[in-house]
Structure 1
Amino acid sequence: MIPFLPYRTMRDHFLDYPLGGNVLTILVFAVIVGALIKGKSIPKSPLYPLWLMFGIYLYLTMWVGSALGTAPPPIWIDDQNFAAWKDYILIPLIFAATGMVVEDRKAVRMVIMLTAFSLLAIDKSCLLESMSRSWGSFDENKRSVGPLGYGSNQTAAFLAQFAVFFWGFAQFVKKMKLKLIFYGLVALTIFADLYTFSRGSYVALIVSVVILGLLKDRKLIVIAAVFLLTWQAIVPTAVRERVDMTHNSNGKLEDSAQERITLWKDAEESIISYPIFGIGFASFALSTHFDGLRDTHNWYVKVMVETGIVGTIFVLVLLQQMLAVGYRLFKRAEDPLYRGLGLGLFLAMCSCVVANLFGDRWTYLEITGLLWVLVAISIRALQLTETEAATEAAIPEVTTPTNPFLAYR
């Protein structure tokens, strides 16, 4: 199932076959059913009941939206808001499926390797697409939808997340050959991300690298500072032009940045009007806003508009728990595999938190599906770590009786 999670354009090849559009859903349910038949269960974690309550709450908010007249009743699969909710709920099902079937260190290692393989496939697709065009100067029309199938910004968020994940993971790889392979994957992913021309992903990368410097390698802080001072002389011309587009020659915000400010002002009015429960999940896109746009271009604003204060609390707790899982594993584990997994997950989550400031990078299964797989195996790794520690503590210390005749020799 893992390689299919981010690679939407590969899944699209199944559309010509019966139930081809539901291939991922079928795979997820097949894993869950198979696990249940074999008596598997999910590990203990507050994230599982939290997702259950959050999913139910999101569905109820859609009925609030229906009562307000902002959305249709969420009954039929043809209803846009219900379809969005159904697709979103597939994410926690993937999380649960992974938690059920990953039970030991070997499986954890296998999942990480499959994640690396999936990232390499995405990198290859991105680079082949980018390098097929001339980038002597930036041109918005040349940006592709990418292998995730939703656009360059979404692909960029995915690449930034997993570039820093494997950067953190590589810190604890002992074999030099493997370490170089992982660093090569990181470099390739950053290069692919560079040519997505997503300014939000650039910020997410820089913030995550600084955090890596604070947690593990202080030299990276100096490197990041030098880069910020010299980036215009280092990056390709097209990338520099893209970053400089934030403001025009008159010092005003360029069109896309100005659109976001206008959207946020509209969203502010909606938040003030419906602060507790919002206007209903997936309801913002059902009405037309400034310049025909249907997204807030900031996921946190979108959560507040659609699900209110209650939904925002759910989201903040989810993010806190995900960060905590990675950090605890990084700090508590003795096994280098687990420590690298924990640090990598924490960095990927930091990248995710920053990237969502620039748009919805959360509800797309293609972006966060693999991230939740890593959360699930991190919870299992944390459980294995605690079990091993408890087992060692329970083993009584064996004392060797002293031979009295030898004690005075």
Structure 2
Amino acid sequence: MNVNATTVESNTVATLNHARPARQNWALYLFVILIPLQNIYVQYVPDFGGGLNFLNLMLIASFLMALRCGGGLVRGTGVNGWVMLYLAGGVLALMIGLANVADASGHGNALKDKSIAVLFVFLAQMSVTDRVGLKRMFLASLLPLPYMFYVLRDQSSAVSAWHYTDHMRISATFMDLGANEMAAFFVTACLVAFGLVIGSRVGWVWRAVYAMAAGLTAVGVVLSYSRTAYIAILAGLAVTLLLSKARWQLLLPALALLVVLPLIMPPAAMERFQTISIEEEHRDESTDSRFVFWEEAIHHFKKRPLLGIGFHNFHHAEFSSHEMDVHNFFLRELVEKGVLGAVILLGLIWSITRLLWRGLAIARPGSWYVGLMLGLAGAWVALLIGNVFGDRFTHYAMIAHFWLYVGLALRGLQLRHAELDVQPDAAPDPELSDRESTP
């Protein structure tokens, strides 16, 4: 079955677009702008108690305004269903975990905060009903980047040195997180913006905006001194370039950049990059400790393989001799949620991967949507790589924008199918559509 036979619902949005101007979710715009700026709302926005804090209030306001927008959820891709199972699996793991550690205080709030980021995938679909809305919501995600870059440069200048030291690891606006999480956010933003630069035929002003966003965030990745981020962004760039129709034209510039890059990167960043190794005789203490955590995680998984030890439990003394996180998202899901959680995670990964492939297959060449899908495909690969050496999937401040982009990808797919229903001759990209799997 080809892409045109997909079951994605399209008539609802098409009808809405002709019936009235699209309503805007101003609360969600604000939420998208502020959520990576932990240094602002953690320090300056008061907590009124009783759950009335910044995250909860913004979520409620965004949800209520999303209901007014009337977008609904996109059907037929499987993504929303797997996301719901993923959220439900977290609740089940929380309930199981309460009986397995002496002090489970804060676990409920941790799950709630993690879930808020995931809910962005639903909020985006409910709030956006047309192509203008897609671009506006994406633009909102770019607005905090100049300020984040300013904070990054300010912190970096205070600790900069010729040779690398651990004191150079900064977190910019992510005051409750670390350099690795900051880097993961910048990797996602950089790759999505880069996809729009090379994939969409937009005016020079918008191309300059996307290029500036990619440049600012690329500097953020470099100054994070995160080795995982270095590997992830290179892999993501390779995927984005390979999927692009302009890959052969971009090959020489990409190779030239690889040659020039070592000459323009800070010496400390090059030192950090050169320490990348997983061979036992060459591993540093940070890398070596991860293998110790992984062995402990596998040991406890074997004891409780079906449902796991419970959400947020591994770092407790009952399970970790070092009282540290697993430092591998996939192993953490396995040990804390068991085989059931692993199956749900695999389903979620497959559904998002399939969404990206279907989006690229049906997107009109040169459209804004194809640029988004190119960048998001690279960001998805980078995110999966980053999760091998850490947890880049559960920190709400760094992952919320990724879920927002998935929601925009879903709505964009639906809008493209609506366009094909009206204009059957607007065929999908033949280079990709002939490889599309059965929905």
Query: TM over 0.5: same fold?
Result: yes
Report deviation, 1:154: 0.5
Which residues of structure 1 form unaligned runs of 5+? 74-78, 395-409
- d(CA) in 2 for partners of 1:361, 1:342: 20
TM-score, with length taken from structure 2: 0.81
Report deviation, 1:392: 2.3
Structure 1: which 4+ aligned runs deviate by more than 3 Å?
Answer: 13-17, 37-40, 70-73, 218-234, 244-248, 288-293
Residue aligning to 1:192: 220
Tell me the amino acid that sits aligned with residue 53 of structure 1. Answer: L
160, 172, 184: which one pairs with 1:157? 184
Identity of aligned residues (%): 22
Does the CA contact (< 8 Å) of 1:138 and 1:239 recur in 2? yes
**Aligned-partner SS, 1:132:** helix
- Which shifted more, 359-368 or 30-39? 30-39
- Which shifted more, 107-116 or 170-179? 170-179
User: Aligned pair 1:370/2:370, yes or no?
Assistant: no
Residue 21 to residue 32, structure 1, CA distance change in 2 (3 Å): closer
User: Aligned pair 1:331/2:361, yes or no?
Assistant: yes
Does the CA contact (< 8 Å) of 1:326 and 1:341 recur in 2? no
Which fold has the larger relative contact order, with Cα–Cα distance below 8 Å and residues 6 or more apart in sequence? 2
Residue 324 to residue 127, structure 1, CA distance change in 2 (3 Å): farther
Does the CA contact (< 8 Å) of 2:79 and 2:348 recur in 1? yes
Tell me the amino acid that sits aligned with residue 60 of structure 2. Answer: F
**Aligned-partner SS, 1:304:** helix
- Which shifted more, 128-137 or 191-200? 128-137
- d(CA) in 1 for partners of 2:205, 2:159: 33
Residue aligning to 1:65: 97
Residue 17 to residue 29, structure 1, CA distance change in 2 (3 Å): closer
Does the CA contact (< 8 Å) of 1:267 and 1:296 recur in 2? yes
- d(CA) in 2 for partners of 1:188, 1:37: 35
Residue 227 to residue 288, structure 1, CA distance change in 2 (3 Å): farther
Does the CA contact (< 8 Å) of 1:298 and 1:357 recur in 2? yes
Residue 47 to residue 233, structure 1, CA distance change in 2 (3 Å): same
**Aligned-partner SS, 1:43:** coil
Residue 120 to residue 326, structure 1, CA distance change in 2 (3 Å): farther
81, 86, 104: which one pairs with 1:54? 86
Residue 71 to residue 246, structure 1, CA distance change in 2 (3 Å): farther
Report deviation, 1:230: 7.4
- d(CA) in 2 for partners of 1:37, 1:189: 34
User: Aligned pair 1:276/2:303, yes or no?
Assistant: no
TM-score, with length taken from structure 1: 0.86
Tell me the amino acid that sits aligned with residue 224 of structure 2. Answer: T
- d(CA) in 2 for partners of 1:293, 1:247: 25
107, 116, 120: which one pairs with 2:142? 116
Report deviation, 1:251: 4.3
Does the CA contact (< 8 Å) of 2:300 and 2:319 recur in 1? no
Tell me the amino acid that sits aligned with residue 363 of structure 1. Answer: T
User: Aligned pair 1:285/2:312, yes or no?
Assistant: no
Residue 392 to residue 231, structure 1, CA distance change in 2 (3 Å): closer
Residue aligning to 1:3: 33
Tell me the amino acid that sits aligned with residue 13 of structure 1. Answer: Q
**Aligned-partner SS, 2:53:** helix
Say which one has the larger Rg. Answer: 1
Aligned residue pairs total 388
User: CA offsets, 1:288-323, max 9 Å, x none?
Assistant: 777734211111111111111211121122122223
Cα RMSD (Å): 2.7
